[in-house]
Amino acid sequence: MGEEGRKGQTDSPARENEQSKSLLGSLAHPIPLPLLGPTPAYYLLLLALFIFYIFTKLMPVGLLAGALMLFIVIYEFFLGVKEGGLKKELLNTALAILVALMVWFGSGFVLQTPTPINAIVSCSMRPAYERGDLVLLAGGPVKAPVYSYAGRSTDINSTARIKFGSSDWSASGSWLAYCSAHLSEDVRCQEFAGRPEAFVETHGPLELRYGACTRQEAGSNKPVATTICVTETRFNGQVVPDDKASGPNGDLIVYSPKPGDLFSRVGDIVHRARIGINATDGLVYLTKGDNNPVYDLQAHDYGVQAGNSPPAGSPPAAGNSPVSPAQIKGHVWLRIPFIGNLKLFITPQVLADPSSLSGCDSHFATQYR
């Protein structure tokens, strides 16, 4: 091999190293800003990615922002070690963590909740709450219409009884969930698609009626589609009140689904407490996302029931249970737009979940939420 060839091989790693240092230097280069003074370029890049993600909701942008956040933490840690030594940087890091824990548990104590802060990661609560909203929680009583029931709360479960004319039968979750999976193979589902108001669904003393519901385009409220949803709820024959002019009643709560429930696959749920039921074995709540067509109790994964495997690490259950007070982490008392997107950046499994984007382009008209 000639001298020039050997020289080229020797220079190649050095050139790559110089390019890496040049990129790192560009990211860390301080840019003077009014009031803030010299600010590393990577903070401005992170801000640009954050704003770009808010408007586009593109998953690669969110993942890139998350990677940049990780880089900043690691880079500034090693920068601190270089300037002040490992011992001092570890001490500063420990103090920062201690302050964060004090703020977290202190605010939790004041607000009477173990989880004072959460973020909305799906579009199930549109338009009142958006994906990426940060919500502050408080403990205490949950506001929702409460009904007394002489039976047990287990009577109100995910097994639905369907009545249509003189016929009746049972289904798991809800008739809407069943027909979403069996529309082409069950003539009753085809009838349901054309006349949803003719079908009545019950879960013990809970009676649910369906209808054709208008969906409106996000931002413009222009009608874009008509789908089936629950339009009336009754408990022991009483119509559950709902303010059709301003939207549904009941506090927005954050709860942890029971282990093994369908929703336990995605972690904490931020939905509205629509009904409280004071049964002989205790109080439970029925919850629903404003932008969902059915109650959480009615959600069902027919793929799991048919024998298909759930996602890796997920429980095998296909349905949900009513929510007990012990499952509730708090009710929402303040909403801060956009800031909750930071949670998406540091939880890529949520960011990459396609179901979290379902319904983001539209929502139900006020009278159908």
34-86, pLDDT tens digit by residue?
888 888 888 898 888 888 877 777 778 777 888 888 888 888 888 888 888 88
Residue 173: left (phi > 0), alpha (psi -120 to 50), or beta?
A: left
274 and 288 Cβ atoms separated by less than 8 Å: yes
DSSP-assigned beta bridge partners for residue 168: 163
Structural tokens at position 330: 């708090």
Same domain, 258 and 361: yes
Read off the pLDDT of residues 106-127 as tens digits, 9 standing for 90 and up.
777 676 777 888 888 888 999 9
d(C-alpha 345, C-alpha 347), whole Å = 6
85 and 132 part of one domain: no
Kindly calculate the radius of gyration of the chain based on its CA atoms and give it in whole angstroms: 26
- 113-119 contacts, C-beta under 8 A, 24 or more apart: 113/137, 113/138, 113/139, 113/329, 113/330, 114/329, 115/254, 115/268, 115/329, 115/330, 116/330, 118/254, 118/268, 118/270, 118/329, 118/340, 119/339, 119/340, 119/341, 119/342, 119/343, 119/344
pLDDT over threshold 60, residue 274:
yes
**pLDDT in the model for residue 175:** 96
- Average pLDDT of the chain to the nearest whole number: 83
Tell whether the model's pLDDT for residue 367 goes beyond 60.
Answer: yes
What pLDDT sits at residue 193?
A: 95
**Where does a domain end: 93, 111, 129?**
111
> Which range (6-10, 20-24, 141-145, 358-362) has the least confidence?
6-10
- The residue ranking higher by pLDDT, 203 or 336, is 203
Measure the CA–CA gap between 231 and 171, rounded to whole angstroms. 19
Identify whether residues 220 and 177 lie together within a single domain.
yes
Number of DSSP helices (H) and strands (E) in the chain, helices first: 9, 16
Q: Check whether 135 has a pLDDT greater than 60.
A: yes
The domain in which residue 206 lies consists of 118-368
Confirm whether 164 is domain-assigned. Answer: yes
In this structure, the dihedral spanned by the alpha carbons of residues 162, 167, 170 and 171, taken in order and rounded to 10 degrees, is: -60
Residue 16 lies in a domain: no
- Whether residue 93 is found in the same domain as residue 185: no
> Mean pLDDT over residues 189-195, rounded?
96
Q: Tell me, what's the pLDDT at 20?
A: 55
Cα–Cα distance for residue pair 313/295, rounded to 1 Å: 25
Return the biggest CA–CA distance within the chain.
Answer: 94
Pair of tokens at residue 328: 């509730």
Q: Is 278 found in the same domain as 244?
A: yes
Residue 279 and residue 336 share a domain? yes
Same domain, 232 and 137: yes
Domain final position from 111, 144, 173:
111
> What's the structural domain count of the chain?
2
Give the domain-ending residue among 86, 111, 136: 111
- Give the residue from 349, 2, 344, 320 showing the smallest Cα distance to 172: 320
Residue 151 CA to residue 320 CA, distance in Å, equals 19
Whether 14 is in a domain gets the answer no
- What's the rounded mean pLDDT across residues 243-271? 83
Query: Has residue 253 been placed in a domain?
Result: yes
Going by C-alpha positions, the residue among 240, 245, 230 that lies closest to residue 295 is 230
